[in-house]
């Protein structure tokens, strides 16, 4: 069982024992005030529906008491989100470093390529901790949510335009359209070239509950113009807009608005009320599009990412 280096007697670094899981989850959920038992129990009970395995939580313990924790959330496409405490005065930087190193090494050996953390913008010291350990700032993500019109009808598309829905026969079309939409995109450009397109698609499918009927490519005279990907969010009345992108030749022609109207129509068809999404704060055209369609800001996180293949 791994223990602390000299000068750190009594420290251990390992997966949490079953009896330690509530305390470890409590550390991760605590912000400026400790998480209460009800909050901890709700997270643990709903975790399976969110595809989170709380038994994967790792801890740095001092004696029998967890002082820092990390919960890996594995996603298709060789990626992982790491949930960590915002801060804990009992955890030394050395203990945090040792546990983070062990977790990253373990999952890199298991085939994870990219690991991400989402931090509150004001937690500057925590940003510095991760940046000093190979994590690079990917983006400041603005989380938006909005309810569409009560009654939405599908757009009457101009002549020559149509939507193609995802299935095995259109997989290659979706892959090529997503790749084309990255050209000149302002949405998390840091990620361009870091992932194989098949990993990208697998990651989008793994976000929430995948339904191929909620994925569409906008075609104009057999040319792909853009893509809209929506997934159901478990335990919610919302759909997540996991990606909306236009190829370069389609931009500035009002097709983003058409895609948003399609997204709201699909939301109604899925009997959901709202759309949720995250957008890079520097992507002004996308922000304007989403605000124009009534979405409102609900949260902000800074995304930092490390490539475990290096």
Query: pLDDT at position 190, please?
Result: 62
**Domain end: 58, 87, 112, which one?**
112
Residue 167 lies in a domain: yes
294: CATH: 3.40.630.30
Of the listed ranges 6-20, 51-65, 167-181, 202-216, the least confidently predicted one is 6-20
Tokens coding 124: 């500057």
Give the domain-ending residue among 87, 112, 137.
112
Query: Is the pLDDT reported for residue 13 higher than 70?
Result: yes
With a pLDDT cut of 90, the percent of the chain lying above it is 77
pLDDT given for residue 272 in this prediction = 92
53 and 163 share one domain: no
Q: Are residues 19 and 106 in the same domain?
A: yes
Residues 149 and 289 in one domain: yes
pLDDT at 128 over 50: yes
Give per-residue pLDDT as tens, 270-298: 999 999 999 999 999 999 999 999 999 99
Q: Is 126 within the bounds of a domain? A: no
Tell me whether strands 11-15 and 58-62 are parallel, antiparallel or unpaired.
antiparallel
Q: Is residue 132 part of a domain?
A: no
Residue 108 shares a structural domain with residue 209: no
- Tokens for 289, please give them: 């599009």
Q: Does residue 6 form part of some domain?
A: no
Is the model's pLDDT at 6 over the cut of 60? no
Q: Give a yes or no: residue 190 inside a domain.
A: yes
103-127 pLDDT tens trace: 999 999 999 999 999 999 999 999 9
**What are residue 80's DSSP bridge partners?**
74, 115
Instruction: State the residue range of the domain holding 249.
Output: 145-301
The answer on pLDDT for 258 being more than 80 is yes
The Cα 164–Cα 216 span in angstroms is 5
Question: Are 174 and 271 members of one domain?
Answer: yes
Q: Is the domain of 157 the same as that of 288?
A: yes
185 shares its domain with 295: yes
The angle subtended at Cα 169 by Cα 166 and Cα 174, nearest 5°, is 45
- Mean pLDDT of all residues in 133-148: 94
Residue 118, in any domain of the structure: no
Domain count, the chain: 2
Encode pLDDT of 176-217 as tens digits: 999 999 998 777 666 666 788 999 999 999 998 999 999 999
Band (pLDDT 50/70/90 cuts) for residue 3 is: low
Both 285 and 187 in a single domain? yes
| Token pair in block for residue 186 | 């302002």
Residue 134 lies in a domain: no
Residue 174 lies in a domain: yes
pLDDT band at residue 157 using 50, 70 and 90 as cut-offs? confident
pLDDT at 9: 60
The reply to whether 72 and 173 lie within a common domain is: no
Most confident of 61-75, 145-159, 211-225: 211-225
Give me the percent of the chain exceeding a pLDDT of 70. 93
Mean pLDDT of 47-62: 93
Alpha helices by DSSP H, 163-277: 171-181, 197-205, 255-269
Strand 238-246 versus strand 274-280 pairing type: parallel
Give the mean model confidence (pLDDT) for residues 14-18.
95
For residues 206 and 271, state if they share a domain. yes
In this structure, the answer to whether residues 213 and 157 fall within a common structural domain is yes
Tell me if 240 sits within 8 A of 231, measured CB to CB: yes
Question: Within this chain, do residues 174 and 263 fall inside the same structural domain, yes or no?
Answer: yes
Q: Which of 112, 137, 163 is the last residue of a domain?
A: 112
């Amino acid at each position: 069982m791994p223990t602390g280096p000299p000068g750190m007697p009594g420290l251990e670094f390992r997966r949490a024992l079953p009896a330690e899981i509530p305390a470890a989850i409590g550390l991760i959920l605590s912000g400026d005030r400790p998480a209460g038992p009800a909050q901890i129990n709700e997270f643990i009970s709903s975790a399976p529906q969110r595809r989170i395995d709380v038994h994967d939580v790792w801890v740095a313990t001092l004696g029998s008491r967890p002082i820092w924790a990390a919960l890996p959330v594995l996603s298709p496409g060789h990626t992982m989100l790491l949930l960590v405490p915002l801060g804990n005065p009992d955890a030394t930087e050395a203990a945090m470093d040792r546990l983070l190193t062990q977790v990253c090494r373990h999952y890199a050996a298991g085939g994870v390529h990219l690991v991400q953390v989402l931090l509150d913008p004001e937690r500057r010291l925590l940003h510095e901790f991760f940046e000093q350990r190979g994590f690079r700032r990917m983006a400041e993500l603005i989380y938006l949510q909005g309810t569409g019109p009560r009654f939405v009808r599908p757009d009457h598309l101009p002549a020559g335009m149509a939507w193609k829905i995802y299935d095995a026969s259109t997989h290659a079309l979706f892959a090529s359209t997503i790749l084309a939409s990255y050209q000149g995109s302002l949405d998390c450009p840091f990620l361009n070239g870091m992932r194989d397109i098949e990993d990208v698609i697998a990651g989008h499918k793994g976000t929430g509950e995948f339904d191929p009927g909620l994925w569409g490519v906008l075609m104009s005279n057999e040319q792909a113009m853009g893509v809209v990907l929506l997934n159901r969010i478990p335990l919610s009345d919302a759909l997540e807009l996991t990606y909306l992108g236009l190829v370069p030749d389609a931009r500035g022609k009002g097709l983003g608005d058409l895609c948003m109207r399609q997204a709201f129509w699909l939301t109604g068809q899925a009997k959901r009320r709202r759309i949720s999404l995250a957008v890079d704060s520097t992507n002004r055209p996308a922000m304007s599009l989403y605000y124009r369609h009534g979405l409102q800001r609900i949260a902000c996180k800074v995304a930092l990412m490390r490539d475990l293949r290096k």
